[in-house]
Structure 1
């Protein structure tokens, strides 16, 4: 109520002035009937003066409101004139202070969460490495149980992939901090990933075919680009048709990863990049997590590499465009 009265103080003063002065003026002019036009003119002048004064005092406030795009700092009125402006500025400072405090708390929480995930993953990886060594040892010592140990090895590989994916996801919030752009031989990256997934290819009876020239060099972040290629080739095998070929080739500044098999429904093409979205395949394939392609999209957007996903006629093609990078080079 106090703010309302303070904000409309000028109207109250005008009303009092009008109430006091107009009877005096009318009395001196010998009646209202013969000077009606003068009364209207005087009222308009007083109203115009009031509106002008209010506009001058609230000009900054109106300019703030009328801006289409504005930074947070620009919301503040640093030298408020009118009472409503002062109240607005004080309230906004309080809100911004609260938001900044919550933002700091959220950053601390994310940092703590990332640390906990990282520690948990590393603690799980140690016994997992021991299990993998035991598998290798027992496969050679107990040939009769070779197939059984292969099943255990498969589960270990799946667990290792899930742990790596979780670790990369937790670190993806700070990609820019970890970024290192350097010249990379594209074929080396792809070949490294294929070697890492060798057992997975063999197990699913799918065969990689790389047609990338040795002298193709791109500029990107080696570690994060390898994460992308690993995820894409892993998906190509996971959803590929048995006894088929995963073709990886480079042409006109673009890297293509093709696989034959079940395609992605058209209605899901754009949604497969959403976090935790598994789509129709997630209901039939228990390994789907909805993290992989989200991570791919996030990394490629950060690296400024455009990409495209096509899936139809029992073929899925993922394309990464390196031609948009002006530093892409061929030795």
Structure 2
């Protein structure tokens, strides 16, 4: 505390020493009586000691108030411009910390909701596989279908964690989108066959993007096109300076479309058919934003849905 006090008022004491030295020099040059000099120095020293005691008392109170300025009774002591500047700085830091804590709390709540939903969804294919095993009814196509669902749910969780923790590794390169789409159709071929859904792929699009993340985003859309399609339906994929994926499924309510990409939103179809986690399209939107791609949806009940992806202008 004393060292801080000296640093705070060092210019004041330096000025006093300069004045005292000048005073002594004048007495010496004019050969004034030494008794006058001694009395003058004693008086000035007494005054400086009393002034130091008063200044130190105020300084100590100010320092204590700064260390714990949350007490309202201490605030009147902090009335100097430098004190107010410190208070504003501290308050700004506290506000930034509060905002950061709110962000972390929101992320934690979102993660808990995601894990809860994910664990609930994981039980469905696991229960199906368990039932197949118990009834000795392990058909390869059915097993592959459930394993694909498990793989998709796991990918959703891992990619959600990557995006929320800003640990995603985007690597942009020239990609032929048709190749990505063909690989995804092959991945879902059993589902296409099980529901007797035909698929067509027209055109191509050479795009500078991240192949892995684009594949993930498109997989969510194709998965929905299969999930909510009718038996014997169709999926049409067109590639021409953009991506258009159309299906002949059950369609989406008009009031649900604006919220399709909200986190955790399942809409009427998800609640009615118990197939949605509410995170697939949310992750798709986030990934496409990172890839500088825009997504839009048009749909008509009992007619079908078209999802369009274009470059952000």
Work out whether the TM-score is over 0.5: yes
1:187 and 1:105 mapped to 2: Cα distance?
Answer: 42
How far did residue 242 of structure 1 move? 1.2
Q: 2:83 aligned with 1:92, yes or no?
A: no
Q: Is the 8 A contact 1:300 1:307 kept in 2?
A: yes
How far did residue 176 of structure 1 move? 7.5
Q: 2:172 aligned with 1:181, yes or no?
A: yes
Query: Given the alignment, which residue of 224, 241, 261 partners 1:273?
Result: 261
Q: Is the 8 A contact 2:141 2:190 kept in 1?
A: no
CA RMSD, 1 decimal: 3.7
Query: Given the alignment, which residue of 262, 285, 294 partners 1:297?
Result: 285
Rate the CA distance shift 1:150–1:217 in 2: closer, same or farther, 3 A: closer
Q: Is the 8 A contact 1:206 1:244 kept in 2?
A: yes
Q: Is the 8 A contact 1:175 1:299 kept in 2?
A: no
Rate the CA distance shift 1:84–1:204 in 2: closer, same or farther, 3 A: farther
Partner of 1:202: 193
Partner of 1:320: 309
How far did residue 175 of structure 1 move? 5.5
1:267 and 1:85 mapped to 2: Cα distance?
Answer: 56
Unmatched 5+ residue regions in structure 1?
1-81, 325-331
SS across alignment from 1:179: coil
Rate the CA distance shift 1:302–1:202 in 2: closer, same or farther, 3 A: same
Which is higher, the Rg of structure 1 or of structure 2? Answer: 2
How far did residue 222 of structure 1 move? 1.1
5 Å matches for 1:122-271? Answer: 145-147=137-139, 150-174=141-165, 177-213=168-204, 216-251=205-240, 253-271=241-259
Q: Is the 8 A contact 1:257 1:319 kept in 2?
A: yes
Q: Is the 8 A contact 2:162 2:168 kept in 1?
A: no
Rate the CA distance shift 1:170–1:241 in 2: closer, same or farther, 3 A: same
Unmatched 5+ residue regions in structure 2?
1-77
How far did residue 200 of structure 1 move? 2.0
TM-score (normalizing by structure 1): 0.57
1:194 and 1:315 mapped to 2: Cα distance?
Answer: 19
Rate the CA distance shift 1:175–1:196 in 2: closer, same or farther, 3 A: farther
Deviations along 1:107-140, one digit per CA (max 9) or x if unpaired, are 69969x98xx99xx9xxx9xx99x99xx9xx9xx
1:196 and 1:244 mapped to 2: Cα distance?
Answer: 18
SS across alignment from 1:273: coil
Matched residues, number: 220
How far did residue 275 of structure 1 move? 0.5
Rate the CA distance shift 1:107–1:283 in 2: closer, same or farther, 3 A: closer
How far did residue 305 of structure 1 move? 1.0
2:262 and 2:103 mapped to 1: Cα distance?
Answer: 22
Rate the CA distance shift 1:104–1:183 in 2: closer, same or farther, 3 A: farther
SS across alignment from 1:284: helix
How far did residue 177 of structure 1 move? 5.0
How far did residue 158 of structure 1 move? 2.1
TM-score (normalizing by structure 2): 0.60
How far did residue 279 of structure 1 move? 1.0
SS across alignment from 1:320: strand
